[in-house]
Copies of this chain bind each other. A is one copy, B any other.
Amino acid sequence: MRSTSPMSMSMSMSCQIVLHLLFFIASLFSTHASSLCSKDGSVVRNISEIPSGNYGRDGLSHITIAGAVAHGMKEVEVWLHTFAPGARTPIHRHSCEEVFVVLKGAGTLLLGSSSSNSPGTPLEFKIHANSTFTVPINDPHQVWNTNEHEDLQVFVIISRPPIKSFIYKDWSMPHVAAKLKYPIFWDEDCWDSPKDEL
């Protein structure tokens, strides 16, 4: 039997303490993650208490008001997006309907073609508070806060959640080269949560 020196005992004890500490910290994080990712089954929710974040997108604040991953929605999903001046979505397309309602600010909707090989030079439409617009299924588009001083805030409604987005580097990129982003940025953290299907 190998003797244990006081020094090694002390090291083993400190290792245990460090391990306990690590487990404790890990458990804190896991509790935090699981509470963040557990489905919110409340009937009425206060929008200001729903987690918001930029999910790696500069100048974006995103809130899922009602979503597939967060609330078990199966047919529609509702977001609140706030774009800082200059902020914009990627150029992207998706095979679901999408309705925007502009609550605050102003900006530009860029709309490319889905019938040519690539989106091509997009059409530009001015958007403003109290306006609404619908993006046709599969049309490549981008929403841009082109206002230099004010946030652009919109409700976004999509069908068939969770959304599968195809992202373009630029307007000349062929449709077939657009890259699938699934899950979408804000669904990534809780993607492991089980999702009911119809």
Contacts and interface: CB of A to CB of B under 8 A. Distances in A.
A44 B125 contact: yes
Contact of A126 (B44, B101, B134): B44
Q: How large is the interface on A (under 10, 10 to 19, 20 to 34, 35 or more residues)?
A: 20 to 34
Contacts of A134: 43, 66, 71, 73
A160 B75 CA distance: 8
Contacts of A117: none
Give this chain's copy count. Answer: 2
B44 A133 contact: yes
Task: Classify the secondary structure of A's interface with B.
Answer: strand
Contacts of A48: 130
Given A44-B132, A127-B44, A132-B44, A99 B76 contact: yes
Contacts of A78: 99, 101, 132, 157
B75 A44 contact: no
A46 interface: yes
Nearest to A159: B75
